[in-house]
Structure 1
């Protein structure tokens, strides 16, 4: 039903549309996502290596995930964004995307991974917790070993 692949620059407008459905303007997200993908936008303490993966249903982008290597909070990597179109939430998409990014982190020797998630984002916190993350500090969660995401329960 869903297909997964590395993201390409042509995916950026669809990614921006999914992000803008939650907040912000599509045009702003196009600039920000494209800049991040091109290595022109650096989150705090980010290193150059980046990864993007897309989920598609019948050739339509329905979700994506992005992350990078970092030195933030003593972590080796950071999950920058994970977004799934509202119509596909509750499916396998977010978990599969997380596994793809986890595999990329492991291949790059990055096991301790952080993610910025506000305390009121209960759905995201539940998702991350279900996949092995724990509280790091207010507004942040961490996987002490992201490879656990790759191990079936």
Structure 2
């Protein structure tokens, strides 16, 4: 079955919640947090509007998502908030395509310096962002000085719908 990549909609929130709850917390916690994030009621430090999310959907199931927003944190223009892919589907290019889509959105917003919080013990996360051109900003934070570099990576997407 083909994977469809598209902008997240409110109807995708339950699938996004399910994926986040696999890592930590519970569905009620993530339902509240994700809904409030998109409503602009949950504000990460120095977050600005707008916020956006993209999903990878197979059939009717959300198998991956990414979210981001504009920011002034660490003199950056944009921030990756969350990225999560179903554990059974990792290392198949889904996260890379979602990151490429979010990077394109940042470029459209003229937000070129983009940061992401990565736990230093998250070796897979560090390797993923490094592979996509991010460098360390400070401990726990990586960034792209120009996120255009991510948009120029070759897409492995099965199908993208905007």
Aligned to 2:78: 77
Distance 1:68 1:49 in 2: 6
Q: CA deviation at 1:59?
A: 2.1
Matched, 1:120 2:121: yes
Question: What is the root-mean-square deviation in Å for CA atoms of aligned residues?
Answer: 0.9
Over 4 Å off, 4+ runs:
none
Distance 2:107 2:41 in 1: 24
Distance 2:96 2:46 in 1: 26
Which protein has greater RCO, CA pairs closer than 8 Å, 6+ apart? 2
Q: Can you give the 5+ residue segments of structure 2 that lack an aligned partner in the other structure?
A: 155-162
Q: Give the TM-score normalised by structure 2.
A: 0.92
Distance 1:13 1:59 in 2: 11
Is the deviation greater in 125-134 or in 36-45?
A: 36-45
SS at 1:21's partner residue? helix
- Aligned positions, number: 153
SS at 2:19's partner residue? helix
Aligned to 2:96: 95
Q: Give the TM-score normalised by structure 1.
A: 0.97
